[in-house]
Chain A
Amino acid sequence: MLQKREKVLLLRTFHGRTLRIVREHYLRPSVPCHSPLCPQPAACRNDGKLLTSDVTHYVIPDWKVVQDYLEILEFPELKGIIFMQTACQAVQHQRGRRQYNKLRNLLKDARHDSILFANEFQQHCYLPRERGESMEKWQTRSIYNAAVWYYHHCQDRMPVIMVTEDEEAIQQYGSETEGVFVISFKNYLDSFWPDLKAAHELCDSILQSRRERENESQESRGKEYPEHLPLEVLEAGIKSGRYIQGILNVNKHRAQMEAFVRLQGASSKDSDLVSDILIHGMKARNRSIHGDVVAAELLPKDEWKGRTTALGESDNEDKASGESPSEPMPTGRVVGILQKNWRDYVVTFPSKEEVQSQGKNAQKILVTPWDYRIPKIRISTQQAEALQMCKMPVNTPENPWKVSPEEERERKDLRKTHLVFSIDPKGCEDVDDTLSVRTLNNGNLELGVHIADVTHFVAPNSYIDTEARTRATTYYLADRRYDMLPSILSADLCSLLGGVDRYAVSVMWELDATSYEVKKVWYGRTIIRSTYKLFYEAAQELLDGNFSVIEDIPEFKDLDEKSRQAKLEELVWAIGKLTDIARHVRAKRDRCGALELEGVEVRVQLDEQKNIHDLIPKEPLEVHETVAECMILANHWVAKKIWESFPHQALLRQHPPPHQEFFSELRECAKAKGFSIDTRSNKTLAESLDKANDPSDPIVNRLLRSMATQAMSNALYFSTGSCAEEEFRHYGLALDKYTHFTSPIRRYSDIVVHRLLLAAISKDKKMEIKENLFSNKELEELCRHINNRNRAAQHSQKQSTELFQCMYFKDRDPETEERCISDGVIYSIRTNGVLVFIPRFGIKGAAYLKNKDGLVISCGPDSRSEWQPGSLQRFQNKITSTTTRGDSVTFHLFDHVTVRISVQASRCHSDTIRLEIISNKPYMIPNTELSHQNPLLLKSELVKEVTKSVEEAQLAQEVKVETIQEEYQEYCQTKGRSLYLLLEEIKDLALLDVSNDYGV
């Protein structure tokens, strides 16, 4: 059935000889055409994605169009696109891996209406290249031929338009076949998508930039920078050790001056360099940008410079010369770029006046990227991209939803036997997890963790699944959230609300009644009915024996006194028992070296009109820890289970041990207070952090813990097939295996783990595994994606908090308003200032001791500060400012000072918080709401991992029903385009981008 053809290729070998290679080429009578109009779908074997049937025509882009206008073809509005294999191969060969992966992802994306037609393997579509025919001509001819075939294949029912950039082809083929039109891409956009403005503008810019590139290559290049060396020279140089290969990292705070080349594995071994290489100034950086893989050459030793330790002014003028930099470090210059890190950037256009002042070439605009580390970019023509949110068909089960009898048979019914309850933040909608505890007949205890059975509703590879996978996590911004699953699932069907029947996946342990040792464990699908939906504060009150809160618990309302008493006792016993168990489990982990870390967190409190009412640091309770501990326990046991069942394809979470050198700052700081921190293992670190507690100032311990947190690496998801077993460890939690299982509503990783667990259960029962699991390779790719999304989510969360911090202070006049003055703690010393942490608002920022005019701070007898001429002197743990009059003031590490908070507005970048020291005495807080808290109760960063939903859901609840108009007024944002929408769009762009990065 296959036909054999031969292709003769002439290749040039390394020695310069030509080599004749004969390759076989097999043709088949039918390849999948993926068209709903196909007359013989069985013969074509059209499985998978089909083109939609509601298009007026099919578009077939020529190879050149695919190469140059792929960004436009990515528009979701453009439908019915058929990519010919010939065109795809041209992209692969000429545009490299990145562009090709972009195309592949586009084809894989179920939401985008495009398919690939393997024309070169179809016996009627394949045309051998003729002798003397150029590659380009042959490609165009093949694509046209395939287009004609495709048109006839669909029985001439759907007109086909081939878009090409080749004028000759338009001439030659334009009127050759009826129904197959050949037009230029510009022409196509004009006649079929006149309304799609964004596409037109993008097209124009692409055209223009291409023209420019052509011009530029003809003109002589700019001579400002030395030429990059050719790749062969670089490779040879790297091998011989003359150049050093590494990734360029631009210093965020001194983007104009400082960049470092971080060495990559191999090269650092043979050279005796230990540290990074400093690249000083733009000239030495030689047009490379942040993230590029570069080759650098070391400068002679006498030209070596030191790392600047001064706080950078955001104006970025080079005036570091007066200050003494730290000791010289290896300095070099970039001689060539091995791999570019170009991607899509968010930039700000200059304002109107600036555009005019930029003058003569109005079509070129210098834009400023949002990221400080990226230099200004010159782009051609102005464009406004309007990307639409894609619509997602949601297959919602009919409402009202009921427990089906089949499921009832298959699942264990806990509705009558177990007291199940949930503890969540007040008003939480998406309840992932519930708990139960009871005494068994044999005297043992049974602890149960019941997690929402999301996988029952989300079938693998359904639309919801695909979308959830791309989103990977729910995004929580300071005032709103962006769900991973549609709200019908997240807030209703999957959410384990009180008093209703719900499906769950449960882990139940039988524990010894006294030692709480695990005797047995059971995993499986269940039906539960949560009796109480408690909130943390109420649970804590119950735990403390304060029963007045029962008025706030709706479940107790309609009961008579007697039964209420009985029920209450039952519940209080359960919460008490849980806490007891959690303490035991926690103690066991502590013995292995579990860490308690500190992250600064604030909650934005909004009032009715969404004004920012206050910034409230979070208040930790013991119940938080109880719930968290139960979740950690469940995660740990599930991790063990899925790893045992699928040793090579289980999704686990690892937390690699930190690099010791990152702890040096922590050790130094602790030494200033007379504590010694032993960072050799997680156990010693935990112990020494516990000891490093200044009874008079609890902030010190918090700061040290947060420094320790910063020094650590991030926890990551991984596939067990790609790591050795020793690397599975979770450093922070001190567990050998850990995963995420308990929040499937808001994390995609948990959905994967649920599927794995269910497959493991059916494997144990010797049943056929229904779920098609990911292979190790697929899982690895997925993990990388989820990790990326998580990092992005954390980042956006952080920035959102910063934004709200700024907004909080923006409308307040720092001179008069009481709130803008606060107590701060110095946690790091620089040559011209100090870094200050403000516990009240959770803000960290820099405060200068020397202002732009060169004046230094001085404090009078009333400890008020003023600017005076003078000089600064920096020591290890303190900084002294001496005025010309002879007064001097010294700031030590961990000193409390009074700072004034103001906002520095910026047009191109985000607004930043500015701190100004107004007194060297601690600020007396009028309301001492949080000055002294039990440090043991401070919520740890890692526990946060589990209980994150807590505050986030609370936030979500606070923002529920607000009209958007009000928002615009309140946030002083431009009409019609909120920052949130903007972020959404960025996310949309990023989806494709991130998934592209796999292959690279």
Chain B
Amino acid sequence: MAGLELLSDQGYRVDGRRAGELRKIQARMGVFAQADGSAYIEQGNTKALAVVYGPHEIRGSRARALPDRALVNCQYSSATFSTGERKRRPHGDRKSCEMGLQLRQTFEAAILTQLHPRSQIDIYVQVLQADGGTYAACVNAATLAVMDAGIPMRDFVCACSAGFVDGTALADLSHVEEAAGGPQLALALLPASGQIALLEMDARLHEDHLEPVLEAAARAARDVHTLLDRVVRQHVREASVLLGD
């Protein structure tokens, strides 16, 4: 078989979506009682769990404390059973470290860290099943978890990936599309202001095409925002019912 047709002449992708359509997103907040905040998200078959502790005092060496803002500590791990072939190590490899740094960068931009000087916020994200767009799923899960923890943020951080196939930008790539090797771009957006918290791409893409791809990713991120917003409102409604208001 000579190459998979990622986008058919009729405009369908391998899994039946059209170019701009997202995978199905399902999310829940407050999945663990022990943590300060937690959330679970499914984006298609990519499943991620995020847990937030803090803000609390700096653990470990005091020297790391920042005088004017809170320290954001992110850790990413991916379950050994998350991919088709079983992984050896769940975390600590190069890719996980990189992902952790990217998450940290994203959330330092979104969390109002100056409100909690000399303290620490821990975000742990674990991917349970990886089917493309793990970074996006992690960011979206972590956003919900941070909100669940009640940590003030500038805005939601909504992330989505986008790729480029046959002159068309595809939103929210699945694993099959990622594996085909085309350019892929990950974008984390603060939807209200339209500011970009993180933009990452490590493949070659002609500069003329960057704009449409970026546009597709931003639109997808806004769509993600609508969905997450709905989840948050639903969660708050449920919580207030429990409180008996």
Contact = CB atoms under 8 A, between A and B. Distances in A.
Contact of B23 (A24, A104, A118, A775): A24
Contact of B17 (A26, A93, A120): A26
A32 interface: yes
Interface in B7-47: 8-10, 12, 14-17, 21, 23-24, 44-45
B9 A104 contact: yes
Contacts of A19: 84-85
B5 interface: yes
A26 B8 CA distance: 15
A20 B84 contact: yes
B10 A24 contact: no
Interface string B174-207: 1010000000000000000000000000000010
A379 to B, nearest CB: 28
B1 interface: yes
A25 B16 contact: yes
B167 A775 contact: yes
B167 A2 contact: no
Contacts, number: 63
Contacts of A118: 8, 10, 12, 16
A116 B10 contact: yes
A2 B21 contact: yes
Contact of B2 (A6, A21, A23, A96): A96
A89 to B, nearest CB: 9
Nearest to B132: A24
Size class of the A contact interface (CB-based, 8 Å): 20 to 34
Contacts of A116: 9-10
A252 interface: no
A618 interface: no
Given A777-B166, A777-B167, A24 B174 contact: yes
Contacts of B16: 2, 25-28, 118, 120-121
A6 to B, nearest CB: 7
B167 A21 contact: no
Contacts of B208: 648
A92 interface: yes
A97 B167 contact: no
A266 interface: no
Contacts of A104: 9
Contacts of A26: 15-17, 21, 23-24
Contacts of A121: 12, 16
B148 interface: no
Nearest to A775: B167
Contacts of B84: 19-21
Given A2-B21, A4-B24, A97-B2, A23 B10 contact: no
A22 interface: yes
A6 B14 CA distance: 13
Interface in A48-70: none
Contact of A2 (B5, B9, B14, B24): B24
A121 B8 CA distance: 12
A469 to B, nearest CB: 17
A107 interface: yes
A376 interface: no
Interface string A88-132: 000011001100000010011000000010101100000000000
Nearest to A15: B85
Contacts of B45: 6, 22-24
Contacts of B3: 97
Contacts of A775: 167
A648 B85 CA distance: 42
Contact of B9 (A93, A97, A108): A108
Interface in A931-973: none
Nearest to B5: A92
Contacts of A4: 23-24, 44
Contacts of B17: 2, 26
Nearest to A4: B24
Nearest to A778: B167
B166 A93 contact: no
A24 B9 contact: no
Contacts of B24: 2, 4, 24, 26
A25 B9 contact: no
Nearest to A120: B16
A121 B10 CA distance: 12
A863 B160 CA distance: 89
Nearest to A13: B85
A8 B5 CA distance: 19
B111 to A, nearest CB: 32
Contacts of A107: 9
Interface string A1-17: 01010100000010000
B231 to A, nearest CB: 17
A32 B11 CA distance: 11
Interface string A27-39: 1100010000000
Contacts of A23: 14-15, 45, 174, 176
Q: Of residues A20, A26, A108, which shows the largest number of chain B Cβ atoms within 10 Å of its Cβ? A: A26
Contacts of B1: 92-93, 96
Nearest to B2: A97
Contacts of B8: 118
Contacts of A777: 166-167
Contacts of A20: 84
Nearest to A94: B1
Contact of B44 (A21, A24, A97): A24
Contacts of B85: 13, 19
A94 to B, nearest CB: 9
A947 to B, nearest CB: 38
Contacts of B10: 32, 116, 118
A252 B10 CA distance: 44
Q: Of residues B10, B14, B17, B24, which shows the largest number of chain A Cβ atoms within 10 Å of its Cβ? A: B10
Contacts of A92: 1, 5
Nearest to B207: A648
A97 B3 CA distance: 9
A200 B10 CA distance: 32
Contacts of B9: 104, 107-108, 116
B81 to A, nearest CB: 11
Contacts of B176: 23
A138 B206 CA distance: 42
A944 B206 CA distance: 38
A775 B168 CA distance: 11
Contacts of A21: 84
A26 B172 CA distance: 14
A6 B24 CA distance: 12
A93 B44 CA distance: 25
Nearest to A647: B208
Contacts of B206: 648
Nearest to B166: A777
Closest 6 CB pairs of A and B: A26-B16, A121-B16, A4-B24, A97-B2, A24-B15, A24-B44
24 contacts: A2-B16, A2-B17, A4-B23, A4-B24, A13-B85, A19-B84, A20-B84, A23-B14, A23-B15, A23-B174, A24-B15, A24-B23, A24-B174, A26-B15, A26-B16, A26-B17, A26-B21, A26-B23, A26-B24, A93-B1, A96-B1, A121-B16, A648-B206, A648-B208
Interface of A: 2, 4, 6, 13, 19-28, 32, 92-93, 96-97, 104, 107-108, 116, 118, 120-121, 648, 775, 777-778
Given A116-B10, A118-B10, 9 more contacts: A2-B16, A2-B24, A24-B45, A28-B16, A93-B1, A104-B9, A107-B9, A120-B16, A648-B206
Interface of B: 1-3, 5, 8-10, 12, 14-17, 21, 23-24, 44-45, 84-85, 131, 166-167, 174, 176, 206, 208
